[in-house]
Each structure stands twice: as C-alpha cells, then as structure tokens.
Amino acid sequence: MKKAIVINNLWSKYDENWVLKNIYLKIYRGESVGLVGPTGSGKTTLAKHILGLLKPIKGRVIVDGIDVSKTSASKMARIVGYLFQNPSHQIFSETVYDEIAFGLKNFGIKNIDERVRSMAETMGLIDKLEESPFNLSIGERERVAIASILVLDPKILILDEPTIGQDYKNYILLKFLLNRLRERGKTIILISHDMELILEHCDRIIALKNGEILYDGDIKIFFNNAFLLKNLNLDLPPLLKFSKKYGLNKFVRNIDELIKVLKNEARPIC
C-alpha cells in the first residue's frame, strides 16, 4: 500500500505551549481514519499541519510525496481537501454556482460547468445554483461548503466535525458521501466526537491527548478498551452499548449489521 501521509517527529507550539509532541504517523492511501480525542488535544492542529496551514517547528510532514513545509497551503489544497466547521467562514460569492466553482477557478481546472453541475446534482443543490448562498438555510450552506471542496476531487479529505449542527437529512447525505468517497479510494481523515459516525466509517483510530498519540490502531480494539475510552472522555456509541448489553459476539458497525447479527443469534423464547 502506498503512503498518503507520513509524519515524522512533528512538534508544534502555540505561544509557550506544545500543542503536538513527537508525532510519528503513517496513513496509507484509501484508509479511513478517525481522529479522536478531548477538546484541545491537538486534532485540528494536526489536520492543519497536513494541509500546510501550519508549519512544523520540528519534524516533517510529507503528503502525497510532497514536503508540506516547502509548499504553500493553497497549492496543497489541490491534494488535501479540508472541510471547516462553519460554512459562513467561506461563503462569499453571489451565486451557489460561483461558490462551488471558486476552487476550480483558483486551480485553473477545465470543464468547470460540467463538474459544478455534477457536484450540485449529488448534493441536491441543482435547483439552487443561481440563488445567493446567503439566502440558503444553514444546512444548505453546509452542503454548498462540502460541494466546493469535493468538486476539487482531492486525494485526501479532512472533515473537521462535519456533523455539528446538521439536520437528519444532511447527516444521511454526509454518510452517503463518505461511503461513496471510500468506494472511490479516497483517503479520509474524520475529526469528530460523533462516535457513531466514526464507528461506521473508519477502520483505524488515532487518539490524541495533550498533543500526544495515545492510541493508533484498529477500531475494534479501540472500542473494546474501556479504560482508553474513559481516559479520552469518550463513550461507546449506542449500537455497541446495545450489542455489549445483550452479549452479541460480533462487532457491529451499523444498524444493518446489527439486524443481521440479531437474526442469526436470536433464540426462540419458550
């Protein structure tokens, strides 16, 4: 497997405090990684280093073979798509069309119209293309923000708390998009406190605490380690709580899998 991200001995500082300490990491192409940890543990800082918005004080960050410290963040944006928490932080264009096309124009990418319309179709925004993004609901604006990143077709995608403030429709759409991106072999880094989303879409967990990696490994082992979860101020997702309470042997990651297991393991009550 080819490496998408290699981080060697990364140290990052804010004011006098070390935000990241001695980070060694390898993320392979096509991997879906959940980046978890308490607030202030350094998750967003690590993600910003991957995009190149922050430059390391010590150590190296190599993304898709490029040394991030020697490349501008705006150039790295062609490889790494970073979805920020608040859509209001990026919307400025007169129409939804222009907003989605913004990144494509910055990189001088051809067939803009085709790509914008295709992305708008996927995101359910096709009938909103000529509208002002400022007149849209928060949920719709969030979809515009996601579309404007995905339209660039980045190899690596970082989603920073993508479920905050989302209604059910957007939440389902996000899950659908994540599945599609995984099928297309994209490398995904999901920063979230939503353990249900992490459970369903990530194969590997990187847990940070006080700027250090506390755990890096398989998701199943992670959710079976109660001490680690407690240490990270995390709780089991409801699905795992249910399967644990009723003694199900199989590790389930979504409702469909749970139903399947229940059907297989169910015993008739006499």
Q: Kindly tell me which of 22 and 69 has the beta carbon lying closer to other proteins.
A: 69
Residue 137 in the binding site for other proteins (CB under 8 A): no
**C-beta of 129: minimal distance to other proteins in Å?**
18
Residue 116 in the binding site for other proteins (CB under 8 A): no
Residue 69 in the binding site for other proteins (CB under 8 A): no
Residue 78 in the binding site for other proteins (CB under 8 A): yes
Length reported for the chain:
270
Q: Kindly tell me which of 53 and 199 has the beta carbon lying closer to other proteins.
A: 53
Position 33: which residue type?
V
Q: Are strands 3-14 and 58-63 parallel, antiparallel or unpaired?
A: antiparallel
Could you tell me the two tokens for 94?
């007169």
What lies within 8 Å, CB to CB, of 91 at 6+ separation is: 99, 133, 134, 141, 144, 145
Q: What residues pair up with 20 in beta bridges, in sequence order? A: 12
Q: Kindly tell me which of 150 and 219 has the beta carbon lying closer to other proteins.
A: 150
User: Which residues, 40 to 59, sit near other proteins by CB under 8 A?
Assistant: 48, 51, 53
258: exposed, middle or buried (Cβ count in 10 Å: 0-12, 13-18, 19+): middle
Instruction: Please list the alpha-helical segments (H only) found in the chain.
Output: 43-51, 73-76, 96-106, 112-122, 138-150, 168-183, 195-201, 219-224, 226-231, 238-245, 255-265
Residue 189 in the binding site for other proteins (CB under 8 A): no
**C-beta of 239: minimal distance to other proteins in Å?**
32
Alpha carbons 10 and 19: distance in angstroms, whole number:
10
Piece of 103-111, 124-132, 222-230, 255-263 that binds other proteins (CB under 8 A): 103-111
Could you tell me the two tokens for 155?
């190899």
Residue 15 in the binding site for other proteins (CB under 8 A): yes
Residue 103 in the binding site for other proteins (CB under 8 A): yes
Q: Which of 92, 179, 180, 230 binds other proteins (CB under 8 A)?
A: 92
**C-beta of 197: minimal distance to other proteins in Å?**
21
> What residues make contact with other proteins under the rule CB under 8 A?
15, 48, 51, 53, 72-75, 77-78, 80-82, 84, 86, 88-92, 102-103, 106-107, 134, 148-149, 152
